[in-house]
């Protein structure tokens, strides 16, 4: 297990790197979309870049309210396609531009959905298979890796998590405070509240529309909507049980955990505490800067770093 601890402080530059990456996305790769029916009667949309008969496939799980159009997804898909690899970009339910059919949506600990998607890709003859998750997708992927242990090695060769909010309690309260609340939480809530109210029109009685309209924090939204829709007792129950940090010590697949120490979503002290007992198979890489999935202001850096890790013997 290796680690790079360069700056124990939460650096203000993390905001700039996060926003710069999001506001200057790379060009889109050509994508082909498939709709997959889920075992419970819903659907997800999966976008593919690169040739179908490629010798290598990378699966990318996006972050909260992300999609194949997210800046990191565009950079990674373009990089894979340019090298003749296959890149699969599954959308969590409701994130592909069309509402999903069921009351449930997706959440930060949705490891069963990760399992179903990866196993379907693996059963389709895709080999070798590597997986990366960014932000929420990274947390869900890490949780899946820890839950499945050695079994995960029969599905993926290697994995990576980028800017994953390993401790959802710490991350949630951090995002709901001060500048983070104004800059990030409000942006997330804008689309999440819209989807929740749209879902309520199709499924009356799920929750109180007036309370949804008044929600001003991620804590309130997850307590009112996300937690009860996905079988959790409360927001604290959800954030605690969905966090990937307790599962890091059980991971048995070579995994890169890449988080910047100035990530505005997860303070450095919470990051270091969450990874203290990570398994030897987990490579901890904590650069001083990079913000939240903004490494390092150059869209080509992250795909190259992932390629180097996945290509290692």
Catalytic residue, from 68, 96, 111, 135: name it: 135
As for how many domains the chain has, the answer is 2
Q: Are 114 and 50 in contact (CB under 8 A)?
A: no
Whether residue 105 is found in the same domain as residue 200: no
User: Is residue 159 situated within a structural domain?
Assistant: yes
% of the chain at pLDDT higher than 90: 79
| CA-only gyration radius of the chain, Å | 18
Q: Which of 109-118, 129-138, 178-187, 266-275 has the lowest mean pLDDT?
A: 178-187
Token pair of 117 as six digits = 């998607």
Whether residue 185 is found in the same domain as residue 271: no
User: Is residue 3 situated within a structural domain?
Assistant: no
Residue 260 has pLDDT above 60, yes or no: yes
Whether residue 97 is found in the same domain as residue 48: yes
Its domain, for residue 23, covers 13-167+245-311
User: Is residue 6 situated within a structural domain?
Assistant: no
To 5 degrees, how large is the angle CA 263–CA 264–CA 265? 90
Residue 292 known to be catalytic: yes
Last residue of a domain, one of 226, 242, 258: 242
210 vs 194: CA distance, rounded Å:
13
pLDDT digits (tens, 9 = 90+) for 71-105: 999 999 999 999 999 999 999 999 999 999 999 99
* DSSP element (H, E) containing 118: helix 111-123
pLDDT digits (tens, 9 = 90+) for 133-148: 999 999 999 999 999 9
Catalytic residue, from 68, 110, 292, 307: name it: 292
Whether residue 159 is found in the same domain as residue 211: no
Does residue 179 or residue 8 have the better pLDDT? 179
Mean pLDDT of 250-267: 96
Whether residue 53 is found in the same domain as residue 119: yes
pLDDT band for position 53 (50/70/90)? confident
For residue 69, the model assigns a pLDDT of 94
Residue 130 known to be catalytic: no
28 vs 76: CA distance, rounded Å:
10
Whether residue 204 is found in the same domain as residue 299: no
Nearby residues of 272 by Cβ (< 8 Å), 6 or more positions away: 5, 8, 286
Residue 263 known to be catalytic: yes
Catalytic residue, from 130, 223, 263, 307: name it: 263
């Amino acid at each position: 297990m290796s680690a790079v601890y360069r700056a124990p402080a939460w650096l203000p530059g993390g905001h700039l790197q996060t926003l710069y990456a999001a506001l200057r996305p790379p060009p889109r790769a050509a994508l082909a979309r498939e709709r997959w029916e889920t075992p419970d009667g819903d659907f997800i949309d999966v976008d593919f870049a690169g040739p179908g008969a490629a010798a290598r496939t990378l699966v990318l799980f996006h972050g909260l309210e992300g999609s194949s159009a997210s800046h990191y997804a565009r950079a990674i898909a373009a990089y894979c396609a340019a090298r003749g690899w296959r890149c699969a970009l599954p959308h969590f339910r409701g994130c592909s531009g069309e509402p999903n059919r069921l009351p449930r949506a997706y959440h930060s600990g949705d490891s069963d959905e990760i399992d179903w998607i990866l196993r379907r890709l693996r059963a389709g003859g895709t080999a070798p298979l590597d997986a990366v998750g960014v932000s929420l997708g990274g947390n869900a992927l890490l949780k899946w890796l820890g839950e499945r242990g050695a079994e995960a090695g029969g599905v993926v060769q290697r994995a990576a998590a980028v800017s994953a909010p390993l401790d959802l309690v710490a991350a949630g309260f951090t995002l709901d405070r001060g500048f983070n609340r104004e800059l990030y939480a409000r942006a997330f809530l804008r689309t999440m509240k819209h989807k929740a109210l749209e879902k309520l029109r199709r499924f009356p009685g799920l929750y109180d529309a007036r309370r949804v309209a008044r929600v001003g924090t991620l804590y309130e939204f997850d307590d009112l909507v996300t937690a009860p829709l996905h079988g959790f007792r409360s927001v604290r129950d959800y954030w605690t049980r969905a966090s990937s940090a307790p599962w890091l010590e059980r991971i048995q697949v070579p995994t890169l955990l890449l988080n910047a120490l100035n990530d505005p979503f997860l303070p450095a002290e919470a990051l270091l505490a969450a990874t203290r007992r990570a398994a030897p198979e987990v490579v901890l890489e904590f650069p001083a800067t990079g913000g939240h999935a903004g490494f390092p202001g150059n869209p080509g850096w992250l795909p190259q770093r992932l390629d180097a890790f996945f290509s290692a013997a």
